[in-house]
Structure formats: structure tokens, C-alpha cells
């Protein structure tokens, strides 16, 4: 019997890429490939790249080069680039990076097994010429669902799959294969974006906004629960737009309670919310539905009105603060995170001071700060009044220091609060760590649960009720509450 072909998936970038990698894993395993964790143990190393900003693109290139170094020194015979950077640059990336034996775009995903086998056999695959994927779907959102059936959209696998194409679990299993044993998994709610932020190139290579149907999201969540997942995180480029192409802009408000009722799911988290599209009904559902985290990942980007207008965005400091007051009026412990760009073309000292005013009053739990840099193909790249690189770097350092201080202060405000912590790691030496409702995976800090060792009540995936007693920067230290440790049992939630 011939030895099975092996493949390793190396994923960079956001949670949406993680979902895409698990779709590729499902397709490959269904066609007989053996999935291995380390690229050095694989015949083919597939690097799922990120094409968002320069730093992310550099990380992707470094990962491809690192995988390329394995060729000729072990099992690895080929390195293939997929993902956003591969889609965005196609042939250009292939020519600039000969270390990659193949550069595959999104249209290649449905034939990923065939493409890898061709490359592994010494053949070549002609990389695509990049195109604006917004033009693949109709301008009118309500016309996209039928047209979308003919467009490859990663993470939107068909609802009814041929027998054997995914694990035989549930009535309609997703086109997906889990790549780790984490109790947390992302679920793609939609793909693409209709907004035209002047600094962002994502819509050009991810395409126009298109929602997944609620039944598909529910079935995937049920399947994930069967795999041991306890928390799902809904991801897309803009979750607040969910349902607009299905005829119901308030569809998320009705879907969230249904997801929270799935057996085995203990927490539902929504990411990527646009402040300008927040509505009272969505805030109500996010702050009052059992098992739905009162968590608001709001993409503010700045708060000075002039800068926001140049970004093709809406709002200002006072309106943003009013939004946060509304949220905390309904859920005082709600978690809020956001990202900001400093050094945008034309940003004045007064604009920077306005951003500082917002940050000082916003009480955000997590803050990401980026220095502006031109992204090719974006409107902002053509703007005048660009700031010198050293000015951008200085402002980045200044706001980053402020952000670090403010999120530490916000963590200290949580001392005395009761939190529900999803256990994610248990180690006799390192301790027991997890995340509270206001902390998203990998980005917002974690909670150290004191006085616990491994056992049934603190195994990975258990929900522990605890009281916050201290902080370590953005991280919390909490003591489990006796008799109320497990959400859904002792806690009665």
C-alpha cells in the first residue's frame, strides 16, 4: 500500500484565515491527504498568507522562505502559498518569490488536492492575474445570493456535501476539519466588505459583502459543538452588515439566541462590528442574551472627525463615547476593544489630541495601534499631506504607550468583579489559564485562575466562575468561587 501524501497548513493573519485553513484541511483529508502539524514532516507545506498591511505581508514572506528552507533537507518537497497575499498578488508574488513552488488564489480552493498533487509531481500551476473581486458579484446586495453560487468564496462551503467530503457527524456536516483541539473556534458569518475605507485594500481581494445563510451557520456550530468546542466566535469583515443581502439587516439579532441554544456551546462571541452600523436592537441582544458575550469589537480607527472623513468613515469622539455609554448602561461589565491608525495623511497635532481625549475617556479593555503606511491600490495612497515616517513612528510610540497604560487601568477596574472563565490551558507548573467574556482569543489578555490544579472541574473547556483579585497588565488574576465553578451546572446559567 503506498504511503499517504502528507500536508501541513501554516496559517498567518486573522481568524478568517484560520477558518479558511480548516476548509482546505477538510478538502484535502477527504481526498486522502494526511494532515501533519509540522511543515518539516510534510510532503507539501501550504502557507495561508495575510495581505493586510506591510508587517503582515513580511511575516507571510518569511514563513514561505522558512518553509522553503526545508526542501532538500528532509521530507518537504514543495511549498505553496495560498490566502490573501497569494490572491492579492498572484503572478507578481510567484515571480518575486521563486522559493514558492505554487501560488494559488481563492478560485483554486475547490481543486486544492489536484493542484497540490500536480505541484508535488513536478508540474506547474500558472498563477492567476489578480482582479478586483468586488466585480464578481452584483452591485445590489439582494442579488448576490444566487450569483454567489458561481463564485468561490472561502469559508462558504456548500450546505449539502457529497458523502465522505467531511466527517460523518450531524445531518449536514461542514466542509471543515479542525486543526487543533482548542475549545474555541471561529465561524464565518459572512465574507467581503461593501465599505470603502480609504486606507483598506481588503474589499478588492476579498470581494463584496455576502452573508452565509443562518441554517449553514447553525449547522456548522452544531458540528463544532460535537467536536468539543465550547465557544464560537463569529467572524467576517463586517458582522453588523449580516443579513442585508438576505433581506433582513436585523438577522443577526435573531440568529444569536439560536446559536446560544446549541447543545454544548457555552459562549457565543461576535467580532468585527462597525460603530456607524450599530443599532439599538443589536446592542440589546448582545447585552442581554444568556451565553452571548457582552463583547464589542468596535472598529473606531480614530476619533477626530476630519481624519475619519478622510478615511471615508463616520463619527467623532462624542458620538463614540455616547455609544459606549449606551452599551455600559445595559451591561456595565461589557468588554470593548478597538484598533486605531495614527499618522494618517493630514493628521494634525489637534487631531492626535482629540484621539487622546477619546482614549482617556473610553475605558477600552484592549487597544491595537498601527502607524499609517501606504497600501497600494487604496485611495489614501494617493493623498497629499503625508507625514514623515519619523513623525508617524513618534506618534505610534506615544499612543501605544498611552494605550498600554489605559488598558492596564481598565483591568484594575475589574478587581472585585465576578467573571466566567473558559479554561484554555492547564499546566502543573504554569497554572490554569482561560478567558473571561470581555477577552477574545489571542488579542485581549487572559485570566490566571489561582489555587487550581488539573482535574475534572478545571479541565480545558470548562467554564469556571471566579472573582477578580488582581491584575498583571491587561491580564487578570481570579479566585474560583466555591460551589459555582461550572457554568451550566453549579452556576445555574
- pLDDT tens column, 30-83: 888 999 998 889 999 999 998 777 777 888 888 888 887 888 777 888 999 999
pLDDT at position 152, please? 85
- pLDDT tens column, 272-291: 999 999 999 999 999 999 99
Q: Is 193 annotated to bind ligand?
A: yes
Residue 159 has pLDDT above 60, yes or no: no
Q: What are phi and psi of 366, to 5 degrees?
A: -150, 140
Work out the average pLDDT over 1-24: 86
pLDDT at position 170, please? 45
Q: Is 191 annotated to bind ligand?
A: no
pLDDT at position 438, please? 97
Work out the average pLDDT over 464-475: 96
pLDDT interval class at 154 (50, 70, 90): confident
Average pLDDT along the chain: 89
Query: Strand 418-427 vs strand 431-435: parallel, antiparallel, or unpaired?
Result: antiparallel
Q: Is 84 annotated to bind ligand?
A: yes
Extract the C-alpha cell encoding 263.
Answer: 447543545
Rounded Cα gap, residues 409 and 386, in angstroms: 33
Q: Is 416 annotated to bind ligand?
A: no
The conformational region for residue 320 under phi > 0 = left, psi -120 to 50 = alpha, else beta, is alpha
Extract the C-alpha cell encoding 395.
Answer: 506618534
Q: How far apart are the first and last CA of the chain?
A: 52
Percent of the chain whose pLDDT exceeds 90 = 68
- pLDDT tens column, 75-104: 888 999 999 999 999 999 999 988 899 999
pLDDT at position 458, please? 80
Residue 173 has pLDDT above 60, yes or no: no
Q: Alpha helices of 90-201 — where are they, by DSSP H?
A: 91-96, 112-120, 144-147
Percent of the chain whose pLDDT exceeds 70 = 92
CB-CB contact of 493 with 420 (8 Å): yes
Nearest to 453 by CA among 486, 483, 429, 478: 429
Residue 184 has pLDDT above 90, yes or no: yes
Work out the average pLDDT over 216-223: 92
- pLDDT tens column, 342-372: 999 999 999 999 999 999 999 999 999 999 9
pLDDT at position 151, please? 85
Q: What are phi and psi of 161, to 5 degrees?
A: -105, 150
131 burial via Cβ count (<10 Å: 0-12, 13-18, 19+)? middle
Residue 453 has pLDDT above 80, yes or no: no
Q: Is 14 annotated to bind ligand?
A: yes
Q: Is 249 annotated to bind ligand?
A: no
Amino acid at each position: 500500500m503506498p504511503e499517504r501524501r502528507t500536508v501541513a497548513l501554516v496559517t498567518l493573519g486573522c481568524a478568517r484565515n484560520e477558518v479558511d485553513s480548516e476548509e482546505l484541511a477538510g478538502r484535502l483529508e477527504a481526498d486522502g491527504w494526511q494532515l501533519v502539524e509540522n511543515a518539516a514532516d510534510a510532503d507539501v507545506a501550504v502557507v495561508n498568507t495575510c495581505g493586510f498591511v506591510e508587517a503582515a505581508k513580511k511575516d507571510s514572506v518569511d514563513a514561505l522562505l522558512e518553509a522553503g528552507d526545508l526542501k532538500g533537507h528532509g521530507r518537504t518537497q514543495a511549498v505553496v502559498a495560498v490566502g490573501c497575499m497569494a490572491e492579492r498578488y498572484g503572478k507578481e508574488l510567484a515571480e518575486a518569490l521563486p522559493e514558492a513552488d505554487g501560488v494559488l488564489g481563492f478560485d483554486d480552493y475547490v481543486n486544492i488536492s489536484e493542484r497540490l498533487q500536480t505541484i508535488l509531481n513536478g508540474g506547474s500551476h500558472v498563477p492567476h492575474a489578480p482582479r478586483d473581486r468586488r466585480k464578481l458579484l452584483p452591485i445590489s446586495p439582494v442579488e448576490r445570493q444566487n450569483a454567489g453560487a458561481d463564485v468561490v468564496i472561502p469559508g462558504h462551503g456548500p450546505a449539502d456535501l457529497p458523502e465522505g467530503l467531511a466527517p460523518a457527524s450531524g445531518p449536514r456536516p461542514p466542509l471543515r476539519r479542525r486543526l487543533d483541539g482548542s475549545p474555541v473556534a471561529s465561524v464565518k458569518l459572512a465574507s467581503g466588505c461593501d465599505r470603502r475605507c480609504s486606507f483598506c485594500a481588503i474589499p478588492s481581494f476579498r470581494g463584496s459583502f455576502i452573508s452565509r445563510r443562518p441554517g449553514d451557520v447553525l449547522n456548522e456550530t452544531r458540528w463544532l459543538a460535537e467536536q468539543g468546542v465550547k465557544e464560537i466566535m463569529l467572524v467576517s469583515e463586517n458582522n453588523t452588515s449580516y443579513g442585508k443581502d438576505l433581506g433582513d439587516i436585523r438577522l443577526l439579532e435573531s440568529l444569536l439566541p439560536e446559536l446560544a441554544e446549541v447543545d454544548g456551546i457555552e459562549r457565543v462571541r461576535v467580532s468585527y462590528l462597525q460603530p456607524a452600523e450599530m443599532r439599538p436592537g443589536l446592542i440589546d441582544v448582545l447585552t442581554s442574551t444568556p451565553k452571548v458575550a457582552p463583547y464589542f469589537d468596535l472598529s473606531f480607527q480614530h476619533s477626530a472627525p476630519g481624519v475619519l472623513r478622510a478615511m471615508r468613515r463616520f463619527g467623532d469622539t462624542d458620538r463614540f463615547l455616547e455609544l459606549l455609554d449606551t452599551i455600559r448602561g445595559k451591561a456595565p461589565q461589557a468588554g470593548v476593544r478597538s484598533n486605531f491608525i495614527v499618522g494618517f495623511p493630514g493628521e494634525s497635532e489637534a487631531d492626535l489630541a482629540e484621539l487622546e481625549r477619546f482614549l482617556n475617556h473610553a475605558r477600552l479593555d484592549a487597544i491595537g495601534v498601527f502607524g499609517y503606511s501606504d497600501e497600494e491600490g487604496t485611495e489614501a495612497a494617493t493623498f497629499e499631506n503625508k507625514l514623515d515616517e519619523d513623525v508617524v513612528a513618534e506618534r505610534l510610540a506615544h499612543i501605544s504607550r498611552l494605550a498600554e497604560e489605559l488598558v492596564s487601568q481598565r483591568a484594575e477596574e475589574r478587581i472585585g468583579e465576578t467573571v466566567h472563565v473558559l479554561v484554555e490551558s492547564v499546566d502543573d507548573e504554569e497554572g490554569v489559564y482561560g478567558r473571561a467574556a470581555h477577552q477574545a482569543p489571542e488579542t485581549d489578555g487572559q485570566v490566571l485562575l489561582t489555587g487550581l490544579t488539573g482535574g475534572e472541574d478545571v479541565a480545558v473547556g470548562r467554564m469556571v466562575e471566579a472573582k477578580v483579585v488582581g491584575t498583571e497588565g491587561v491580564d487578570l488574576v481570579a479566585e474560583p468561587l466555591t460551589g459555582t465553578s461550572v457554568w451550566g451546572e453549579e452556576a445555574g446559567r
